Amino acid sequence: RGYIAADTPPILVRLGIDTDHWLQLMRPQGIHIATVIGHSTRIEDYLKRHQQRHIAGATQLKRLLQ
């Protein structure tokens, strides 16, 4: 518990997230009002559960997770 093996790939690699896009989004001028970040199917599930049609920053998130 609480241990990550030294040979484990970085989290962004394991999640399939491009490092450069992630860093751009996390800068102050990146996403201004992010509500959720995740794979598109998980975001769709979130929207259904919360009865929402869209999320802020959706375009940037799609680019990030491509």
With tokens 């799609």, the residue in question is 62
CA-based nearest residue to 55, from 43, 39, 42 = 43
CA-based nearest residue to 11, from 3, 23, 2, 19 = 19
Dihedral, CA of residue 34, residue 40, residue 43 and residue 44, to nearest 10: 140
pLDDT of residue 6: 92
Reported pTM: 0.46
Contact (CB, 8 A) for 6 and 52: no
pLDDT of residue 30: 59
pLDDT of residue 8: 94
pLDDT tens digits, 14-38: 888 888 877 877 776 655 555 676 6
